[in-house]
Amino acid sequence: MKATAWWTAVLGLSATAAVSQQDGAPRRGAPSIPAPVLGGSAGPAAAPKPEARSELPPGVEVVRDIPYAKAAGRRLRLDLYLPVTQPKPWPVIVWIHGGAWRGGDKTPCDGLPVLEKGIAVASISYRLSGEAVFPAQIEDCKAAVRWLRANGRRRGLDVERIGAWGSSAGGHLAALLGTTGGVKAFDVGANLDQSSRVQAVCNYYGPADLSLMQAHSGPESRLRHDLPDSPESLLIGGRVADHPDKAAAASPVTYATPDDPPFLTVHGTADPLVPIGQARVLDEALRAAGVPSTLIVLDGAGHGGREFQTPVLRAEILRFFERHLRP
């Protein structure tokens, strides 16, 4: 493994970032990172329609509610944001929403800043824990990647350059996409002739080792992760401590191998829902496997908020995806 460099950078406002790195809209303005929007189950099938240009930033088109898979009797859908004034083919980011695996929706999409760099965005829905327990969620994310590879060329996408970005539960699933590229057990459904691997992962404050969530919790924590109704217990279908094998199967750290893509993880030290220790164990597991991993720690930041929206951090995210997805 190559040497690890450490440095500190101020990322705007009062947040200080301690960074470790292994060498190796449709609204105007920058999107915010709001609280999860509950609900969002798909309705009856309908032909996807381009959204009116007047509602989008200049040079962007979005096609909403494209069916990408069918699971448990309903269609799973994605919204595809295209930087149509920039040269094709466009790399694409799969944006995965948060909501404790039991809420949230593909809108609003907080992955839109990459559009300015000529990178498309596919914001996906997936089955929530009230509908189906793990591994349904990662199966759906992988189905979306395979759909993009099978259908993306005709929409102007570079299907060999797909990244993943998500926050909270979505960060967990983005990290799982990154570490389970070679785990065929999670590839089910259509387009199985296509790869579900991604080429870069940005993880905003997502869980990484479910078995350590309670152990990592500090005085700022607002959740008891060892209870049967904790988000991670509901995800795997039972109390985490009673099901260590299921907890391990749902943890990105379990699968870290040298062929994983580069990772960028961003996490706050005062996160009351997902402890900062989760980011550190993921970074350690990736670097131990020889995977390029960058960890940005925001001092005093919580679970999302303005510290994650500074211009300097946004620029860092864009540089990461440009470096690993642009030819």
Are the beta carbons of 232 and 207 closer than 8 angstroms?
yes
Q: Is 47 helix (H, G, I), strand (E, B) or coil?
A: coil
The architecture in CATH of the region 4-22+56-325 reads 3-Layer(aba) Sandwich (3.40)
Q: What is the reported pLDDT for 55?
A: 57
Q: How far is C-alpha 29 from the chain's CA centre?
A: 21
Q: Tell me how far apart the alpha carbons of residues 164 and 170 are, in angstroms, rounded to a whole number.
A: 9
Q: pTM, whole model, 2 decimals?
A: 0.84
Eight-class DSSP state of 108: S
Active-site residues, by number, are 168, 271, 303
Residue 230 CB coordination number (10 Å) = 18
Q: Tell me how far apart the alpha carbons of residues 268 and 16 are, in angstroms, rounded to a whole number.
A: 10
Q: Closest Cα to residue 223, out of 100, 104, 308?
A: 100
Q: What is the reported pLDDT for 12?
A: 33
Q: How far is C-alpha 317 from the chain's CA centre?
A: 13
| Domain boundary assignment for the chain | 4-22+56-325
Name the residue type at position 170.
G
Q: pLDDT tens, position by position, for the chain (327 residues)?
A: 332 222 223 233 333 333 333 333 333 233 333 333 222 223 333 334 444 333 567 899 999 999 999 998 899 999 999 999 999 999 999 999 999 999 999 999 999 999 999 999 999 999 999 999 999 999 999 999 999 999 999 999 999 999 999 999 999 999 999 999 999 999 999 999 999 999 999 999 999 999 999 889 877 777 788 899 999 999 999 999 999 999 999 999 999 999 999 999 999 999 999 999 999 999 999 999 999 999 999 999 999 999 999 999 999 999 999 999 987
